[in-house]
Structures are given as structure tokens and as C-alpha cells.
Amino acid sequence: MVERMDQVFVLFAHWLVGFLPAGWQPVAAVLLSVVVIICLFPALFALTTVLERKGLGRIQNRIGPNRTGPFGILQPVADGIKSLTKEDIVPLSADAVVHFLAPLVLVVTVFMGFAVLPMGRGMVLADIDAGLLFFFAMGASTELSVFMAGWSSRNKYSLLGAMRAVAQMISYEVPLLMSSVAVVMITGSLSLSRIVEAQNHYTWGLPHWYIFTPWGLAGFVMYAIAATAETNRSPFDLPEGESELVAGYHTEYSGFKFALFFLGEYLAMFSISGLGTTLFLGGWSAPFSFLGWVPSWIWFFSKLMLSICVFIWLRGTLPRLRQDQLMNFAWKFVLPMTLLNLMVAALWRFLGDGWERWVICSAILLLAYLAMGWLGMRQGHIGPRRYRYAD
Amino acid sequence: MITDNTVGGILLGEGILKGLTETAKNFAGSFVSAERLTTVEYPEQRVAPIEATRVFPFLVYDGKDWEAGMRCVACQICEKECPPKCIYIEKSKDKKPDAVGKPQFYPTKFDIDISVCMSCQICVEVCPFEAIKMDTEFELSTEDRFGGLLLGREQLSKSNEYYHEIHATEAANVDASLAAGRAKVDAKTTAVAIAAAVRGAEVPPRPAEGGD
Amino acid sequence: MSLVFYLFAALTLAGGLAAVLLKNTIHCALALTVAFAGLALLFLDLDAQFAGFAQILVYIGAVAILVVFAILLTRSSETPKDGVYSKNWLAGLAIAAGVFAVLAWAVLQSAGGLPQGAAATPAVTVLQIGNALLGRYVLPLEIVALLLTAAMIGAVIVAMHEKERAQR
């Protein structure tokens, strides 16, 4: 019974596909999974917009939307209708083809990222051997669409926003990859389902998730920082900050195209949280061995929604980082820490089992963190300000 | 070695953690305490205005009839003192008794353009007759941008009981000073009457007493 | 030489042709990106997962963006006045034909060595690639790494000199 609940979707898909002739079955199975993903994650997106507005409201001493439906649940429906019926304005001198393609490229590449996430035991759309590489390849392609959007609008502020966004995304791509490489190193495979299975073991009831190791915790923190920056979320949302550049690279978009950008951003958040869950939080594995009877997909989505709640919490708490602060942070703090983390992970592997490796690895990481933090937070000497003029 | 010449504490990220706990407290607290959730769902719920609230002026009248009981005597001081000149007064030709009984002029037209009025309360401060006071009514939206925002003397006249409702202490003080004024006038007329009675045979024509 | 191969090849060729024939430079850069994507699809068709995804990650995710930034920041996004065709197109055609002939001869020579109608292309896993890179081919790997480091240091030095010049 527990087994059936766990595999309920897989069995249902098999039963549905069984109606078709044998030649069509693989294609039909893939198509079915694709349709499910395309329907499920936008629905989650709708739920998340309400959650975010209500959550942010409560953090900011106010109630969020509460007029459409009980507790504002139907607000996304209202938003959807609004975005569908608004006039689609394309600036006269804008590059029409590129302007049209930019949101499409964004949404398509973001949806592709979901194909390799293991959402439950045996519930991966495409169990690719180089799954993690595929995911990052799709993530890198989203930067192109951001640039296309900013450039095709023929608006210097959109272009500025797009350049900033692309610079930010590229700078944080490196720590994102580096913190994942530590996981790959320890697991020995790029395949995401193998990584989850490697974390699905229990010692004294506690799981072997990578976040419970020193290098895993450091890696997870840095992955979270890089993920927040990759998806242009607060506190790294300068490119799209409403009070900064109007709306940055999607200023000139209205109606449904804007809704597509919004959808793309939230879906990117989901997929990157899903990847973080898979790499560090054990994917679909349960937190304690005695909770193994709960279906695996429930664990995956709970962890995903928990990450989303943390994203919302961060958004409500932190002020926005300036562009140069953001870039300094990436190159001067996060990147060296990820490189050190890689070496510590290697050390972890070669020190063998035992309590020594815990102590040594934790000590190295903690000292490095304290040292770099202290270095970074020192107030510079207060002297006359030096200006650098453009010539 | 690790001295505190750093911004915000020794540990990097300390400030962030403090901030996160504060917002978490705000989030959780907003469900249980009204202190955390200060939002009021207007217009279904309203916050009671404080006593010194002021929006636009109104004319006070005593008794039941607004025309007869109006305290304003059309002295036009408020019209002259109003900074944006939003008051327009037309004086009457005849007289009627005022709040303390003396026959005075009264305004046949008293218009305030509330799209111009800036709620400075100068008209209230300079009025010697306690006739114009500040109202607290603010839901005055109308579809007529010009005529609808020009309030005439009938719309502006509100009773003394209403004044007591909106500004209790102020109204009580005003009533006390008006009563004192009336008492003084009464005492003076009584003293004059007694002096006249004492003076002798030819009774001089009596001045009108009180109001009728 | 299946239908899928012809489709991907057509996509790559179309992207490449568009990259040289279009007037707007940014459009050319985006067409080049399409050509890169076509190449990646060809790699994936050959079951070379690592090569295909690395192609997308590096070329589309980094090189294309670099090209586009370079076009933007050097202000050559306006269309050239004399049109896109150069005056010496005959010499260019001759050189391109010569290079194509050499490459085609090399490919056909090596294709002769493969067993005809290879049923299953050997599945090369990432593990094998990793082992080869750090085992047999470690020297080329380190040389390439050195080259990239030198390029990065050079870029930083050039930028730093500019900053110093601007401050004076």
C-alpha cells in the first residue's frame, strides 16, 4: 500500500499509456510527463504568487490580497485575466522578431530544466547520465533571452538593466557550478537520480543528506546565495527592481509577454530550488528513516515549497544590493569560498570515516569564513574621497 | 586581534540572521497580536479619529433652527484672513439677535470652496464669535468637480450638539466661554436697569433684554 | 544519415549562412547562436552527451554572450555603409573552398576506418571522459588550463592599465 502510494503517478501513467499500441508507448509516456510538468509547475507558480503577496504582507504589517476569493486564493486568476486582456504594446522602433522571441526563449529553456529533476522515486522525465550538466546548460541559455529582451526594446534603460542582469547572472554562475561540483565529486556521478540515491541512506535514523556534512552545509549556503542571484531575486534584484530601472529589461513588455517573463522568473526559482533540494537536501528522501512510509514525491515538493518560503522570507528582510557590491561579493567572497569548499570536500573523502574528518573540515571552513568575513567587513580608512572620471 | 571595528558585529551574516528573526517575529505575530498587524480594512473597519482631527470648516448653530441660531454675524474677518481666499460672504441688510442676544447682521451667503481650502484653521482662530469650527468629515467625494465642492451656508451649518460629538472638550470650553459672555451681558443689563429704576420718575426707554 | 541528421545539419547551415548574410550585426550574432545550437544537437544525435551539453553551456551560455557584449560595447551594431559583401569575394570563395576540400578529405579518410553500418555508437559516459582527461590526456588539459589562465591574467592587466590611465 505504501509502495503504491509512492508510485501512484508512475503506475497511473503506465496504465494510461497501456491503451496505445506498443510502438507509440515510449513517445506517449514522454508526452504525458511533459504535459504534467507544463500543467503542474505553472499551477504551483499561481499558488506561489498568492503565498508571496500574503507572506510579504504579513511580514510588512499588512494583509495581502484578500478580496478575490477566500483569503485571496483566486488572485492569480484575476492576474491571469488581466495579463491576457491587456494591450500588447511593441515600441515602434523595437526589433519586432527579437522582441517577440525573448520571452519564448526564456520560458522554453526554463521548462527544459525540469526534465532532469527527480521528483520522486523513479519519477524523472529524462534520466540523463550528464543530468546536472544539462541543467546548467539550460540555465546558461536563459541569460541570452534576458539580453535579447533588453536589447530589442530600443530603450537605453532596458539595455542597461539587461547588461546588469547578464553580468550578475554570469558572475554567479561560477559559484553555482562550483558548489555543485563538490557534490558531484563526492557522489562520483553527474546523474541527478544517482545523487539522490547516494543520499538515501540512514545512520541511526538520520539521513546522509549532504547538507549535514561541513562541506555540504557551506556548499548549500553558497548555492543558495548563487541561486538567489541567478534568478534575480531580492536581495540581488537590482536589474528588475521596481524603484530602480522601472522594470529593467522587461520595461517595454506588456500584457501576456510580461506575464511570460514573470512566469519564467518564478519557474527558474522552482527549478533551481529543485536542483538545490536534489543536490543537498536529499531530493525525495525522507528526513528520518521511520518516516519512509510517506510518499517520496510529497517530500520533494515539501522541500521545494520550503525553499520557496525561504526565498520569500529573504525578500521581505533584506535590502537590495548595489551592482558593485553584488559583483564584489561574488568574485571576492563566494568564489574563493567555493574553491576552498571543493578542496575541503576532497579532504573529507580522503580522511576516511571517523570523527576526525568532521572536526578538521568544520574547523577549516569556519576559520576561512571568519577570516574572510572579518576582512570583508573592515571599515576602510576614512580619507578624502577619490573620484575617477570617464574620459 | 578580532576587534570590533567592523560594520555590524564580528560575524559576517550576523545582521542578516537578526533581520530574519525580526521578520519571522513580525510574520508570526501578525496572526496573534493587533500590535503587529496594524492594517485596518477600510471602509469596513475604521479607526476612530483623534479629537483634534480637522478637515474642513463648518458653521455652528445653537438650538433647532439653523438660520435663526447661526452664530456667524458676517464680520468677514475669516474671509479676509483666509490664505487661499476660499471663503465668500455676503452680508445681510437686516439684523437678527446673535448668540449673546445683541442684534447683528448675518450672512445671506457663506460659501467655502473645499477644493481650495487648505485646512489651516486660521478662520477658526480669528473668529471672535466661535461661529466657525473644524469638521472631521472627509468622505466628500463628488462627481461634480466645481459646484459639488462649493459648500453653501446650509450645507455648512451643523448643530452645536454635533460639535459636541466631534470635539467634546473644545465644545465644552466654547460653551463655557459663551455662557460667561452671556452672563456678563445679563449682569450689565440688570445693573443698568436697576440704576435706571433707582434714578427716578422718568423711566428711560428700556433697552431690549435678552432675545425673543 | 537519417532524417534527424539532415534536419540538424540544415539548421546549422541555415544559422551559419544567416550569420554572414544578415545586415544587423546583433541578428548575425543570434544566428550564430542558432548554429551553435545546431552543432550541439548534432553531438547529442551521436549520443555524445557531455560534448553536447558542454557545447550549449560554453558556447551559447558564454561565448555568444561575449560576442554580443563585444558588438554592443564597440558600437559596431550599425549596419556597414558599403553592405555586407566584401570586394574580394572571389579570393574568399577560393580560400573557403580549399579549406572545405581539406576537411572533407580528412573526414572521408577517417570514416573509411569505421565498421560499416555501426549498429550502436559506443556509449561514452562522463566517467570515461573524466578518466581519460585526467589519465591519458592530462598534459593537454593542463596546457589548456595554463593558456586560459594566461588569457585571464592578460585581460585583467589590460583592464587594470586602463583604470590606472583613467585615474591619472
pLDDT at B6 over 60: no
Distance CA C40, CA C51 (A): 8
**Residue A259 domain flag:** yes
Residue with cell 576537411: C103
The residue with greater pLDDT, B108 or A391, is B108
Contact across the interface for C53 and A141, Cβ inside 8 Å: no
Which chain A residue's Cα is nearest to C37? A141
Query: Residue ranges per domain, chain C?
Result: 1-79, 122-168
Burial group, residue A121, by CB count within 10 angstroms (0-12, 13-18, 19+): buried
For an interface test with A, give the residue of C126, C131, C133 to mutate (most A CBs within 10 A). C126
- What is the tens place of the pLDDT at every residue in B121-146? 999 999 998 899 999 988 888 998 88
Instruction: Say if residue B4's pLDDT is above 60.
Output: no
**Å between C52 CA and nearest CA of chain A:** 9
pLDDT tens column, C106-159? 988 887 666 655 555 566 778 888 888 889 999 999 999 999 999 999 988 888
Q: Which residues in chain B have Cβ-Cβ distances shorter than 8 Å to A220?
A: none
Domain annotation covers residue A55: no
Instruction: Compute the distance between CA of residue A237 and CA of residue A250 in angstroms, rounded to an integer.
Output: 13
Q: Å from C118 to nearest chain A CA?
A: 22
Contact A215, A369 (CB under 8 A): no
Q: Which chains touch A (3 or more CB pairs under 8 A)?
A: B, C
Residue A237 in any domain: the answer is yes
d(CA C109, nearest CA chain A) in Å: 31
Question: Which position has the higher pLDDT, C81 or B73?
Answer: B73
| Inside any domain, residue A112 | yes
Domains, chain B, in order of start with CATH, read 57-169 (3.30.70.3270)
Decide if A388 is inside a domain: no
User: CB atoms < 10 A from the CB of C93, how many?
Assistant: 10
Residue B104 burial (CB count, 10 A): 18
Task: Note the helical H segments in B33-167.
Answer: 66-69, 77-81, 122-126, 153-156, 160-166
CB within 8 Å: B12 and A377? yes
What is the pLDDT at residue B203?
A: 55
Q: What are the pLDDT digits (tens) for C2-19? A: 899 999 999 999 999 999
Rounded Cα–Cα distance for residues A134 and A139 (Å): 9
- Portion 32-71 of B in contact with A at CB < 8 A: 36-39, 41
Contact A318 B2 (CB under 8 A): no
Query: Looking at the complex, does the CB of residue A325 fall below 8 Å from at least one CB of chain B?
Result: no
Would you state the cell numbers that stand for residue B79, as one nine-digit string?
A: 474671509
What part of B 74-113 touches A (C-beta under 8 Å)? none
Residue B205 pLDDT:
56
Identify whether A71 is part of a domain: no
Q: Do chains A and B touch (3 or more CB pairs under 8 A)?
A: yes
3-state helix, strand, coil in chain B (%, to 5): 35, 15, 50
Residue C130 confidence (pLDDT): 87
Lowest-confidence pick of A2-11, B45-54, B62-71, C69-78: C69-78
The count of CB pairs under 8 A between chains A and B is 60
Predicted confidence pLDDT, tens digits, chain A (391 residues) = 878 888 888 888 888 888 888 888 888 889 999 999 999 999 999 999 999 999 999 898 888 888 888 888 899 999 999 998 998 888 888 888 899 999 999 999 999 999 999 998 888 888 888 899 999 999 998 888 988 888 888 888 888 888 888 989 999 999 999 999 999 999 988 899 999 999 988 887 778 899 989 999 999 999 999 999 998 887 888 777 655 656 677 778 888 898 998 899 999 999 999 999 999 998 898 888 888 888 889 999 999 999 999 999 999 899 888 888 888 889 989 999 999 999 999 999 888 888 888 899 999 999 999 888 888 777 666 677 778 888 7
The residue range of the domain holding A98 is: 86-374
Write out residues 40-69 of C within 8 Å (CB-CB) of A: 49-50, 53-54, 56-57, 60-62, 64-65, 68-69
Q: What is the CATH T-level fold of the domain C1-79, as seen in this structure? A: Four Helix Bundle (Hemerythrin (Met), subunit A) (1.20.120)
- The pairing of strands B150-151 and B103-104 is unpaired
ipTM over 0.90: no
Q: Provide φ and ψ at B57, rounded to 5°.
A: -75, 160
Q: What pLDDT does residue B13 have?
A: 80
Q: Which residues of C36-72 are buried (b: 16+ CB within 10 A; e: fewer)?
A: bbbbbbbbbbeebbbbbbbbbbebbbeebbebbbebb
Provide the pLDDT for residue C70: 85
Q: Grid cell 551574516 — which residue?
A: B13
Residue A11, min C-alpha distance to chain B (Å): 41
* 3-state SS record for B143-167: CCCCHHHEECHHHHEEEHHHHHHHC
CB-CB neighbors (< 8 A) of A60 in chain B: 26
**Touch B-C: 3+ C-beta pairs under 8 A:** no
Residue A161, domain member (yes or no): yes
Q: Which residues of C touch A98 (CB under 8 A)?
A: 26-27, 30
> How many domains is chain A built from?
1
Chain A residues near residue C69 by CB distance under 8 angstroms: 163, 166
CB pairs under 8 A between A and C: 71
Q: What is the pTM of this model?
A: 0.84
Q: How far apart are CA A260 and CA A266, in angstroms?
A: 10
Q: How many angstroms separate the CA atoms of A73 and A298, rounded?
A: 22
Q: Among B10, B33, B39, B41, pick the best mutation site for testing chain A contact (most A Cβ within 10 A).
A: B39
Q: Are A282 and A199 in contact (CB under 8 A)?
A: yes
